[in-house]
A = this chain, B = another copy of it.
């Protein structure tokens, strides 16, 4: 069966401010030692499994030109633009109807555009195994990550170790981000995996599930599908999307569906959730510093400095994040990385949108 990929690149993440901006979200940034952006790495990673012309990028209208510029070899028609973000269920539904319109039934790998995977061949093996399970009947397949700490920032998925299909396990349930005690219990139970947000299914399977669990969204998607390639396409897309209820695929479909399987991925996954990730994904020096740009350090350790042309002198720093950009500079204690969003809230309140 035809293998396709739907890469979701509409996110507006604020956690990499001031490098990421509303006009340049994380997926369009290079955050590794590689010069390639997160989106470019995501596409490159799956090329052994999916041909370029079978890769679809779903994004916000405002990012169409960024996608074109970063993926010049992608057919222009493979860039699907949401008129407005309505969370992942309508986004994935839009991808599904486009792929179904083009190929009829096909395997569809849904992948975030802003995660990193260290071991590509292990990832591709897992994806291949997942495709095999997805092609059988009406199975919804997801990839889970074996937790190595009681992380409270991710959703978890409980699986049934005895109930297998190929290399997959049956999913018992999806659970939302837990508190620390619950996360510790999940970790100890060895029956929970992190929800990676990667899904593999046939277009027919996900559309059937959308029909069953989000019938209004499904009805709108059918109208969009009919209009594809007609002069009405943009108008119908606009109208239907505006009417969609914002809903995640997890809550709208996965938590209600049957026949869900999960494969445990051990391929060096990193969601690159904040500037802290840079310490993991970029080379650090012998003092634990990750330094780029025109930088002088004195008695500084375990610090991330992302500069440019301007000289940055760091004296006596420990566990800090320093990010300089053209018009804004961030200086943040690592333990407060989660509070960067407070800066953006402050800027919004003060109506200083030029910095967002």
Determine whether the beta carbon of A331 is less than 8 Å from that of B312. yes
Stretch of A42-50, A86-94, A116-124, A319-327 that contacts chain B: A319-327
Copies, count:
2
Q: Which residue of B lies closest to A343 (CB)?
A: B313
**Chain B hits for A165, CB < 8 A:** none
Scoring A332, A339, A347 by chain B CB atoms within 10 A of each residue's CB, the highest score goes to: A332
A298 neighbours in B (Cβ, 8 Å) = 336, 339, 342-343, 346
User: Does A310 lie at the interface of the complex (its beta carbon under 8 Å from any beta carbon of B)?
Assistant: yes
Known contacts A324-B329, A328-B311, A329-B324, A316 near B335 by CB under 8 Å: yes
Give chain A interface residues in 83-118, CB to chain B under 8 Å: none
The answer to whether A327 and B311 touch across the interface, beta carbons within 8 angstroms, is: yes
Which residues of chain B have C-beta atoms less than 8 A from A17's C-beta? Answer: 313
Q: Contact at B329–A316, with CB atoms within 8 Å? A: no
List of B residues within 8 angstroms of A287 by Cβ: none
Contact between B331 and A314, CB atoms less than 8 A apart: yes
What is the CA–CA distance of A328 and B336 in the complex, to the nearest angstrom? 25
Assuming the contacts A296-B347, A331-B331, A347-B296, asked whether A339 and B315 have C-beta atoms less than 8 A apart, the reply is yes
Q: A327-B310, A346-B296 are in contact. Are A332 and B315 (CB under 8 A)?
A: yes
Given A296-B346, A313-B18; A331-B339 close (CB under 8 Å) = no
Per the bound structure, the CA–CA distance linking A299 and B331 in Å amounts to 12
- Whether B336 contacts A331 by the Cβ 8 Å rule is no
A24 lies within 8 A of chain B by Cβ:
no
A342: nearest chain-B partner, CB-CB: B298
Whether A333 sits at the interface, judged by CB under 8 Å, is yes
- Does A317 lie at the interface of the complex (its beta carbon under 8 Å from any beta carbon of B)? yes
A340 contacts B by Cβ under 8 Å = yes
- Given the known inter-chain contacts A312-B329, A315-B333, A329-B311, please indicate yes or no for A343 contacting B18, CB distance below 8 A: no
From known contacts A343-B296, A346-B298, infer whether A332 and B316 are also in contact, taking CB-CB under 8 Å: yes
Closest residue on chain B to residue A321 by CB atoms: B315
Task: Tell me whether A330 is interfacial, beta carbon within 8 Å.
Answer: yes
Q: With A298-B336, A311-B355, A339-B298 in contact, is A331–B317 under 8 Å at CB?
A: yes
- Compute how far the CA of A101 lies from the CA of B352 in the bound complex, rounded to whole angstroms: 62
Q: How far is the CB of A22 from chain B (nearest CB, A)?
A: 15
**Bound Cα distance from A19 to B322, whole angstroms:** 20
**Beta-carbon contact of A331 and B346 below 8 Å:** no
Complex contacts, A312 vs chain B, CB 8 Å:
328-329, 331
B339 touches A316 (CB 8 A): yes
Among A296, A299, A315, A336, residue most surrounded by chain B Cβ atoms (within 10 Å) = A315
Given contacts A298-B336, A299-B339, contact A315 B327 (CB under 8 A): no
A347 cross-chain contacts in B, Cβ below 8 A: 296
CB pair B313–A329 under 8 Å, yes or no, is yes
Q: In the assembly, what is the distance between CA of A328 and CA of B340, in Å?
A: 23
8 cross-chain pairs, A with B, having the tightest CB-CB distances, nearest first: A316-B336, A316-B333, A315-B332, A311-B328, A313-B343, A298-B342, A315-B336, A312-B329
Apart from A311-B329, A313-B343, list 20 A-B contacts with CB within 8 A.
Answer: A17-B313, A296-B343, A298-B343, A299-B336, A311-B327, A311-B328, A311-B352, A311-B355, A312-B328, A312-B331, A313-B328, A313-B331, A315-B330, A316-B332, A316-B333, A317-B331, A317-B332, A320-B331, A322-B331, A324-B329
